[in-house]
């Protein structure tokens, strides 16, 4: 009886063990399947978020907060010097600083700029200093003036960070990071080897830029504006397009900068809401000078770009009070020579050493750029071309229609040959 009971118990134990093993194996299989499903689901969610960000852009940055800057800290955590030091410049730009600007402390920027020892320039909103990150990347640090009204400084800061956060284009300056400490607002950009376009053009110590290079520079700025107006998620009006706000890298690639008064609009917005003048006299469109008399749209940037084109071909500022009376206002001088079919003389008068073998190329470039400029500076915004059309005309993809006299709002056409009253009118506008 005991042998029988022992055998039966042993058999029951074996059956139980087999059943338990089978149950455990089933449970393990289920757990593995569930883990795989969860992993696949996580990867799918991450991929969908990535696709959404690629298509619609990153969320808007909001740094308008208390003086401690908690919101900025949450969006962009501080990056320690050790992490920057241990990565290559290419990896830093392509991976770390690609998705959103980095937040730096005031102490870090003091070290990067060696206590602001090398000033590159100063403007209405801030001073720019040369610096270097721990990994050897050259940077330009724009420190906003602390003597300005806090609200104005904050608005300018938010406009620049909020605008450049949304953009990614070869002809727009790259914002690497910013500082939003209680006592300091600063912006950190890639350093441009040839600095600003106005210094490169107007400083005679720089080498002469040939006609092909001038067209490339003009086309680059135009493509940057086309991107702002027509291609990025939000329509962006720059409002201050001028030579000093175009930077040149080592290859003379132009990059539009200084977005402190830029305005972001919905694609559905036909016009901007403007209550005061924006920009720099001499470059401002008529509708921006006389706010309220006509709707302000992105075509005001087209006007400013036209004025920039005159300076590119003339290698001088649009207004020169030291020049002879008929030569003081460069755009009007260009129109006079265009009517006479003698734009090459404009190039020669602006001190370009033109070799006989290069005259045809200079003539073609001067005519193309001046004709486009005349179209861009028409008084009525709707008569100016879009930046897409400007790019196509500059690059020779479409014919340039004959321009009409564009300066009637400043002086009548019958006075275009030259008179004392013309420069007086422009001086009032330009001061």
Q: Which residues are catalytic?
A: 240
Token code pair at residue 251: 């290859």
Note whether 252 and 192 are within 8 A (CB): no
Question: What residue spans of 211-342 are helical by DSSP H?
Answer: 211-226, 286-289, 299-314, 330-339
Check residue 380 and report its DSSP letter.
S
145-151 own/partner pairs: CB under 8 Å, 24+ apart? 146/183, 146/184
Enumerate residues 6+ apart whose C-beta is below 8 A from 276. Answer: 291
First to last CA, the chain: 120
Check residue 92 and report its DSSP letter.
I
d(CA 299, CA 404) in angstroms, rounded, equals: 17
**Count of alpha carbons within 13 Å of 348, Cβ hemisphere only?**
12
Location of structure tokens 């992105």: 298
**C-alpha angle with apex 255: 275 to 426, nearest 5 degrees?**
50
- Beta strand 175-181 with 102-104: parallel, antiparallel or unpaired? parallel
Nearest CA to 195 among 307, 118, 112?
118
Supply the DSSP string of 147-204, one letter for each residue.
Answer: TS-HHHHHHHHHHHHHHHHT---TTB--EEEEEEETTEEEEEEEPPTT-BHHHHHH-T
d(CA 426, CA 329) in angstroms, rounded, equals: 8
Bridge partner list, 254: 248
With 0-12 / 13-18 / 19 or more C-beta atoms within 10 angstroms meaning exposed / middle / buried, residue 250 is exposed
């Amino acid at each position: 009886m005991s042998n029988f009971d022992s055998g039966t118990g042993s058999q029951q134990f074996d059956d139980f063990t087999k059943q338990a093993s089978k149950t455990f194996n089933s449970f393990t299989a289920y757990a593995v399947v569930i883990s795989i499903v969860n992993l696949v689901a996580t990867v799918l969610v991450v991929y969908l978020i990535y696709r959404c960000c690629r298509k619609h852009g990153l969320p808007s940055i909001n740094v308008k907060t208390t003086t401690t800057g908690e919101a900025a800290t949450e969006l962009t955590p501080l990056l320690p010097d050790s992490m920057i030091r241990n990565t290559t410049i290419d990896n830093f730009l392509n991976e770390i600083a690609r998705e959103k600007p980095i937040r730096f402390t005031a102490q870090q920027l003091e070290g990067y700029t060696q206590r602001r020892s090398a000033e590159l320039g100063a403007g209405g909103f801030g001073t720019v200093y040369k610096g270097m990150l721990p990994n050897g990347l050259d940077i330009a640090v724009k420190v906003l003036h602390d003597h300005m009204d806090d609200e104005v400084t904050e608005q300018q800061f938010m406009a620049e960070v909020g605008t450049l956060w949304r953009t990614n284009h070869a002809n727009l300056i790259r914002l690497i990071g910013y500082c939003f400490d209680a006592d300091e607002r600063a912006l950190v950009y890639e350093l441009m080897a040839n600095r600003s376009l106005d210094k490169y053009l107007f400083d005679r110590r720089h080498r002469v830029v040939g006609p092909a290079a001038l067209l490339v520079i003009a086309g680059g700025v135009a493509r940057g504006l086309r991107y702002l107006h027509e291609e990025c998620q939000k329509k962006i009006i720059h409002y201050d397009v001028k030579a000093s706000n175009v930077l040149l890298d080592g290859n003379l690639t132009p990059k539009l900068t200084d977005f402190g008064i830029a305005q972001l609009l919905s694609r559905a917005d036909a016009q901007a809401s403007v209550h005061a003048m924006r920009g720099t006299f001499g470059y401002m469109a008529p509708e921006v000078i006389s706010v309220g008399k006509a709707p302000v749209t992105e075509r005001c940037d087209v006007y400013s770009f036209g004025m920039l084109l005159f300076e590119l071909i003339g290698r001088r500022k649009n207004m020169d009070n030291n020049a002879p009376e008929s030569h003081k206002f460069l755009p009007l001088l260009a129109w006079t020579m265009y009517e006479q079919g003698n734009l090459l003389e404009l190039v020669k008068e602006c001190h370009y050493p033109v070799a006989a073998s290069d005259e045809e190329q200079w003539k073609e470039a001067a005519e193309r750029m001046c004709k486009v400029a005349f179209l861009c500076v028409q008084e009525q915004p709707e008569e100016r071309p879009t930046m897409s059309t400007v790019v196509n005309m500059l690059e020779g993809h479409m014919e340039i229609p004959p321009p009409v006299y564009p300066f009637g709002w400043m002086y009548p056409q019958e006075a275009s040959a030259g008179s004392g009253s013309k420069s007086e009118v422009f001086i009032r506008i330009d001061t």
